Amino acid sequence: LEIVWQIKIKYKELGGVKMNLMLLGAPGAGKGTQAKELIDKYGIPQISTGDLFREAIGNKTELGMKAKEFMDNGQLVPDSLTMSIVEERFKQPDCQNGFILDGFPRTVFQAEELDKMLSKMGKKIDKVVALEVRDSEIVERITGRRISKSTGKIYHIKHNPPIDEKLEDLYQREDDTEEIVVKRLTAYKNQTAPVLDYYKTQGKVISVDGEQEVSKITADIMKILG
């Protein structure tokens, strides 16, 4: 165990792996859950546009207030707002050695803009991990999700119940109701599914069965990435 830890520490000191990853999948497919596992394994940060919007809403910024109108209705936030929040995030120094995109891009326009933005920085997307989960699983996953206020850890009341967390530290997202999930799924099918084809034509997509155990999915992703 000691040797494993030493290797992990050395790996992080060396800057981890340089890899620009993207996690693509329907609401509740497990993007956030897998991103949190991969941050640790690869030493690169997660960039979740959903989390960035929720942070902006929490800080009551103008952008946050505009985004909230769409998020509360299960609709996508307009591309211009989304691109501006991503552009700001890419300026942070922690993105230098790579990143894990979670929930972005969500339209073909965003994907094209992202490619342009990265190419100006001399970067590109290396791999797109498509997490495949049937619609029938989605509502149950989303309505059962609980998140820790203090650590941001993602739980599920049945599949991954919190053990050490205090109940008052857990919250449910406002858009995690059955009614809004249906709208989010429609937005995914109409606007985001074409993004998968966009990256398939670039030969970058890796499909992973997202209905396995969390650790098995992480292992599958890491095996394919090498």
Chosen from ligand AP5, Mg ion, none, partner binding at 160 (C-beta under 5 to 8 Å by type): ligand AP5
Q: Which is nearer to Mg ion, 32 or 64 (CB)?
A: 32
- By a kind-dependent CB cut-off of 5 to 8 A, residue 12 interacts, out of Mg ion, ligand AP5, none, with none
Using the rule CB under 6 A, which residue among 38, 141, 218, 221 binds ligand AP5? Answer: 141
Specify which residues 155 forms β-bridges with.
Answer: 146
CA atoms within 13 A of residue 60's CA, in its CB half-sphere: 0
- Contact predicate 17/42, CB 8 Å: yes
Residue 45: cis peptide before it, omega within 30 degrees of 0: no
Cα–Cα distances (Å) from 206 to 25, 52, 62, 202, in that order, read 12, 26, 37, 12
CA–CA gap between residue 181 and residue 58 (Å, rounded): 21
- Which residue has the closest beta carbon to ligand AP5? 50
Looking at beta carbons only, is 38 or 217 nearer to ligand AP5?
A: 217
Burial level of 44, CB count in 10 A (0-12/13-18/19+)? buried
Should residue 160 be labelled a site residue for ligand AP5 when binding is judged by CB under 6 A? yes
- Shortest reach from residue 203's CB to Mg ion, in Å: 26
Least distance in angstroms from the C-beta of 220 to Mg ion: 19
Nearer to ligand AP5, 155 or 198 (CB): 155
Query: Cβ 51 to Mg ion, closest distance in Å?
Result: 7
Q: Which residues are catalytic?
A: 31, 106, 145, 173, 184
